[in-house]
Structure 1
Amino acid sequence: MKDEHPSEPSVTEDQKNGIVNRRRALMMGAVTASAVVSIKPALAQTVGSVMNCEIPVPGNHAAGGYIDARGSIVPPDTPGAFPASGRNFTGEEVRRAMQGRRLPGTSRRQSRAYVNYIRRLQSGQSGFTCYASLQMPR
């Protein structure tokens, strides 16, 4: 007489597979939990460093240049252009200014021009990495 279910594994094989699968799931859970514990402080540190990073206006690439209302670097004799800020702005100050507040020590028009300058920063320019970090979702 032929075996009616030759392809079915025995009960003991099913039990072994179940134990192996549970062990694997537990191990994955342990690895995931330790990764979360490791990453969370790093993210907190990153957020802190983003808020404390600095953006010069204008950066080294434009020393001596003024900033017009659009955020472009222009010659010092350009009407309506603003001189260098005289200080670097922190990531937190820039973040607030992008939400509608003024950069510290600036008029409304000057702050807007400086924020427009910051928005135009490109890779390789002073302050770009800080500005790019502000754009990352948290």
Structure 2
Amino acid sequence: MAEDYDKPEKLPEAESHGSPALPGRRAALMLGAVAASSVVTIRPALASTAASVLNCRIPIPDPGHAGEYVASDGRLVPPETKGSFPPAPRAVTGEEAKKMMSGMSPPGFDPSARQAYVNYIRRLQHGTSGFTCYASLQMPRP
């Protein structure tokens, strides 16, 4: 009777309604093995993606607006505009951006400029350098 395990099983009502037969046990086991290997393959990729999101960079301001200052509301303004802040000393990593949004200033950054930089990041639009990094930070993690 071992050969019966290789044959598809049919339910009585399946035969009467003309629906396809259910897969045999071997097919079900093979599907389970494929699903398990997929989970093992996808998990490291997700971990790698999460790490790359934290290491992405957001220039403040973007290279197309180098030299402009950042107003407290995040808009870019001409240099030396009253109440504005100079460009960030370097690009912010995704991890630093998350910390800045929670109230912390990265080393080397003026703490009084932190909120202006956060507002600039939040105003980023598609096509602006750093937008993809910021958008990735907004996606929920598994």
What is the TM-score normalised by the length of structure 2? 0.79
Question: Contact between 1:69 and 1:109, CA under 8 Å: does it hold in 2?
Answer: no
Written as runs of structure 1 = structure 2, the 5 A alignment for 1:1-138 is: 16-17=8-9, 20-138=23-141
The one-letter amino acid of 1:17's match is: E
Q: Which ranges in structure 2 are unaligned for 5 or more consecutive residues? A: 11-21
Higher relative contact order (CA 8 A, sep 6+): 1
Q: Aligned-pair distance for 1:29?
A: 1.6
Counterparts of 1:105 and 1:86, CA distance in 2: 7
Counterparts of 2:36 and 2:102, CA distance in 1: 36
The one-letter amino acid of 1:59's match is: D
What is the TM-score normalised by the length of structure 1? 0.81
Q: Aligned-pair distance for 1:21?
A: 4.3
Question: Contact between 2:55 and 2:95, CA under 8 Å: does it hold in 1?
Answer: yes
- Residues matched between the structures, number: 125
Match of 1:76, SS state, is coil
Counterparts of 2:39 and 2:124, CA distance in 1: 33
CA RMSD in angstroms comes to: 1.9
Provide, for residues 5-26 of structure 1, a one-character-per-residue CA deviation record: whole Å limited to 9, x for no partner.
xxxxxxx8xx841683433432
The one-letter amino acid of 1:85's match is: A
Counterparts of 1:99 and 1:29, CA distance in 2: 43
Q: Aligned-pair distance for 1:54?
A: 0.9
User: Is the radius of gyration larger for structure 1 or structure 2?
Assistant: 1
Q: Which ranges in structure 1 are unaligned for 5 or more consecutive residues? A: 1-11
Question: Contact between 1:57 and 1:84, CA under 8 Å: does it hold in 2?
Answer: yes
